[in-house]
Amino acid sequence: MSEETKDETKQPSPEEAMQAIQSSIANAFNLGLQQQPKPGADTISDIVKVIQETIYGQLKQAYGDVPEDFIKANAEFFVQVAAMGYIIPRVCAFDQDFQARLFKLIEARVLETQKAAQEKAGQEKGKIITEDKKIIV
Query: Comparing 17-26, 56-65, 83-92, 116-125, which segment has the lowest mean pLDDT?
Result: 116-125
Q: Give the domain ranges of the chain.
A: 18-33+42-123
pLDDT at 37 over 80: no
Query: What contacts 111, CB < 8 A, 6 or more positions away?
Result: 21
Digit-coded pLDDT (tens) for 47-106: 999 999 999 999 999 888 889 998 999 999 999 999 999 999 989 999 999 999 999 999
Does position 115 have pLDDT exceeding 80, yes or no? yes
Write the CB contacts of 40 (distance below 8 Å, at least 6 apart in sequence).
none
Query: What one-letter code names the amino acid at 128?
Result: I
